[in-house]
A and B are shown apart, each in its own frame.
Chain A
Amino acid sequence: MATEEHSDGLTFHPMDQFKIQPLFREIEPGSCVPAEDIVHGCLKWYEPTNATLWMGLTLLAIFALFVLGTRGRAIIPSRLQSVAELGYGFVHKMVEDVAGKDGLKFFPYIFTLFCFIVFSNFLGLIPGALTTTSHIAVTAFMAVAVFLTVTLVGFVKNGAGFLGLFWVSSAPLALRPVLALIEVISYFVRPVSHSIRLAGNMMAGHAVIKVFAAFAPLVLISGIGIAVTPLSILAIVAMYALEILVAFIQAYVFTILTCVYLKDALHPHH
């Protein structure tokens, strides 16, 4: 039945929303096939794309909240200023609680990541928007940056003592080499899980919404649509509510994991 409906005219392109496209031109079909060494039509690294647009809007939103919103510097804050203060306090407390007082040096970096992710996630919920954080390139860049920073900080702060992170001194001696191997592997898997968790969550929810959206016009095509269309619209609403939750939670998870990794770098001993 489903296949019939496909051919009838329902179009499923749940992944099209993630396409990166140049803002001021169309990529000629066939002008970018790297497998066949045709790259003259490919995206140039400096070209402004829809990703550029939505990252720019993220920047503007952050500017509006944290700079324009706090313009008054009021002792008794305006609404916007309390939201800005809330965000500041939220991340500040998280860094302090998880990574400790000496982790606060890294608060601006962590806050930058948190702001970018949370605003990208929420802007991505606007219909027609590109969710930049649903792209593995974006999340992997951030996760690798965190990984490299944390590893560097670990070695600079503790020298070779940082390797103690992998040497579980509370375990029986015989088990320690095995555990060390597992710890090392899990350490290097960190950036992978860190980035895929965020991109995967953002992508999956948006794709599911798109699939439900594709079912919505069924009422125009077939009688069964009388039942399917309201259901799919309801499902879109429910998914959207869930996505609002996910948008915040995934930003929170990315940030708190960054704090945990930072804690390991600052205090590597179990």
Chain B
Amino acid sequence: MANTTTEAAGAVTEATGHAAEAAGHAAQSAGMPQLDFSTFGNQIFWLAVALALIYFVLTRVALPRIGGILADRQGKITSDIAAAEELKLKAEAAEKAYNQALIDARAEANKIVAEARAEIQKDLDKATAKADAEIAAKAAESAKRIEEIRAGAAENVAVVAKDTAEAIVAALGGKADVGAVADAVASRLKG
């Protein structure tokens, strides 16, 4: 008897348990898990932990590091641009100096050419003058010799004419007056 009562009680408890189980299951599976308030405390706790850790990792390590990298890069770019600007200025100065040197060298070369030309001209003038003088001397000498020859020839002509005149006079049977012939020849040669 007692046994049966216990059994019955057990059965009732079991049944209630099943019912509750079924009810609980229905409640859990029917609604949105988002609205299951029994999980809110848990979620919020772990969310707070996660956010705190993320914040810690980001502010302690990641953000300063990335900020540093970006600042470094900006600095490097700025300094590189400045260096490039400086090098450009240097290159421009070098080009200017090169051009100046080129102009100077050209001027120097022109000067040297002019000097050489002047020197050569001087030598040339000297040589020309010397040659002219020699030529003049030779010409004068030649003229003298020609004059001499010409004078010699005229004298010979006078002698030949006198002799010829005397010979002609003799052939005609006369006796030539030497003085008269000479005068006649001389006058004829002058005329």
Instruction: Decide: A39 and B38 in contact? CB cutoff 8 A.
Output: yes
Whether, in the assembled complex, A213 has its beta carbon less than 8 Å from a beta carbon of chain B, the answer is no
B57 near A18: Cβ-Cβ < 8 Å: no
- Given A46-B45, A51-B43, A67-B62, answer yes or no on A134-B34 (Cβ-Cβ < 8 Å): yes
Total interface residues in chain B, CB < 8 Å = 48
Residue of chain A at shortest CB distance from B77:
A75
Assess whether A112 is interfacial by the CB under 8 Å rule: yes
* A188: interface (CB < 8 Å): no
Q: Chain A interface secondary structure, helix, strand, loop or mixed?
A: helix
A30 interface contact, C-beta 8 A: yes
Task: List, in ascending order, chain B residues with CB within 8 A of A38's CB.
Answer: 20, 24
- Chain A's closest residue to B21 (CB) is A30
Residue from B33, B57, B73 in contact with A62 in the complex, judged by beta carbons closer than 8 Å: B57
Residues of B within 8 A of A48 (CB): 46
Q: State whether B24 touches A49 (Cβ < 8 A).
A: no
Give chain A's interface residue range (CB within 8 Å of chain B): 35 or more
Contact of A75 (CB < 8 Å), options: B44, B65, B76: B76
Q: Is A77 an interface residue when CB atoms closer than 8 A count as contact?
A: yes
Q: Are the CB atoms of A51 and B21 closer together than 8 Å?
A: no
Contact A141 B47 (CB under 8 A): yes
A246 proximal to B (CB < 8 A): no
Task: Tell me the A13-34 residues at the B interface (CB within 8 Å).
Answer: 13, 15-16, 18-20, 29-34
| Closest CB in chain A relative to B116 CB, distance in Å | 61
With A39-B38, A136-B34, A136-B35 as contacts: A108 and B63 at CB distance below 8 Å: yes
A73 touches B24 (CB 8 A): no
- Write out the residue numbers on chain A whose beta carbons fall within 8 Å of the beta carbon of B36: 20
Q: Which residue of A lies closest to B56 (CB)?
A: A112
- Decide: A62 and B43 in contact? CB cutoff 8 A: no
B24 touches A85 (CB 8 A): no
Chain A residues with CB below 8 A from B15, complex form: none
How many Å lie between the Cα of A35 and that of B59 in the bound state?
43
- Could you list 16 A-B pairs, sorted by A, with CB under 8 Å? A29-B25, A30-B20, A30-B23, A33-B27, A34-B37, A38-B20, A51-B42, A52-B46, A59-B53, A62-B62, A66-B62, A84-B66, A85-B66, A108-B55, A137-B34, A141-B44
Residues of B within 8 A of A (CB): 17, 20-25, 27-29, 32-51, 53-55, 57-59, 61-63, 65-70, 72-73, 76
Q: List 15 other contacts, CB 8 Å, given A36-B23, A108-B55.
A: A19-B33, A29-B24, A30-B25, A32-B38, A33-B27, A43-B39, A59-B57, A66-B61, A66-B66, A70-B65, A75-B76, A88-B67, A135-B43, A137-B47, A141-B48
